[in-house]
Amino acid sequence: MLTLFPDAFPGVLGVSIIGSAEKSGLWSLETVDIRKFSSNKHRTVDDTPAGGGPGMVLKPDVAAKAIESVVCSDAVSDDRPLIYLTPRGKPLTQERVRALAKGPGLIVFCGRFEGLDERVIEARQMEEISIGDFILAGGEGAAQLMIEACVRLLPGVLGSASSTTEESFETGLLEYPLYTKPRDWNYEGEVRSIPDVLLSGDHGKIAKWRQTKSEDITRERRPDLWEEYQKTGSNNGDDHERD
């Protein structure tokens, strides 16, 4: 993690199963303070944008030195993707997360201010990734989100490998509703019960119910995903009964 705020890490990455996996050696995290690569006594890392405008821009010389400090320079090439988290990047998808999780690791540059000098992005061929159509104060929160998405897919991190196979986006659909005990839950005088089909013991009916609910939820909430799902033919054109 290349960041102006190394104390922001591990943050949420240090708790629960992700934190336990780090303590167990299943993954590791190193932070690099970008400010240490500034050459003046004030540790300046930014300057005004060329052409005018609000805010400040991260300086190319400082950013490049920080990157070069972690990129392998020996005969063995460093094939870890160099990622810059920015709202203008390509949306982070579960497909990309799976690919990153299978790879050799990541180098992540956490931006601040108005952004990073474009020349560094071009010269280092940085992969620009966005976690959503909104703006954050910096890339640290986005980096933690992306790393958690990757780490949880590593072998041994989750208790069961099947935990990752029926989630939202893994099949092109959003996940079906989940329930647990008690069977009947009274909330403000209204009894809400687990759907009978989930307690029937009929695994075929349960699978069909879950598929139908996933399709209904995706169609309603994410028409973009539903359109893509139909294009891929994942549903084979079947019309499922509505329970």
pLDDT tens per residue across span 144-165: 999 999 999 999 999 765 555 6
Strand partners, 57: 47
Q: Which CATH number fits domain 166-232: 3.90.950.20, 1.10.357.10, 1.10.1270.20, 3.40.366.10?
A: 1.10.1270.20
For 8-52, the pLDDT digits (tens) are 999 999 999 999 999 999 999 999 999 999 988 889 999 999 999
Query: What backbone torsions phi and psi does residue 125 show, to the nearest 5 degrees?
Result: 50, 50
Strands 32-33 and 190-193, bridge-based pairing: unpaired
162-205 tens-digit pLDDT: 555 656 577 889 999 999 999 999 999 999 999 999 999 999 99
User: pLDDT per residue over 80-92, tens digit each?
Assistant: 999 999 999 999 9
Tokens 């329970």, residue located = 243
> In this model, does residue 142 exceed pLDDT 50?
yes
Average pLDDT of the chain?
91
Quote the pLDDT of residue 238: 46
Residue 243: the pLDDT is 38
pTM as predicted:
0.83
- Does residue 137 carry a pLDDT above 80? yes
pLDDT score at 168: 59
Q: Is 233 left (phi over 0), alpha (psi -120 to 50) or beta?
A: left
pLDDT above 50: residue 239: no
Looking at residues 202-214, what average pLDDT do you find? 96
The CATH class that applies to domain 2-151 reads alpha beta
Q: Give the range among 69-73, 208-212, 216-220 with minimum mean pLDDT.
A: 69-73
- Reported for 99-105, long-range contacts at CB under 8 A and 24+ positions apart, including other chains, are 100/146, 100/150, 101/150, 101/151, 101/153, 101/154, 103/79, 104/79, 104/80, 105/80
> What residue segments make up the domains of the chain, in order of their start?
2-151, 166-232
- Residue 164: predicted pLDDT: 57
For residue 36, give the nearest of 72, 3, 14 by alpha carbon: 3
Residue range 111-127: mean pLDDT, rounded? 96
Q: Angle at which helices 203-221 and 223-232 pack, to 10 degrees?
A: 120
- The residue with greater pLDDT, 125 or 171, is 125
- C-alpha to C-alpha distance for 128 and 65, rounded to whole angstroms: 19
Residue 220 has pLDDT above 60, yes or no: yes
Please write the tens of the pLDDT for every residue from 52-76. Answer: 999 999 999 999 999 999 986 554 5
pLDDT at 41: 85
Instruction: State the residue for tokens 């994410």.
Output: 222
Could you give the 3-state DSSP secondary structure of residue 191?
strand
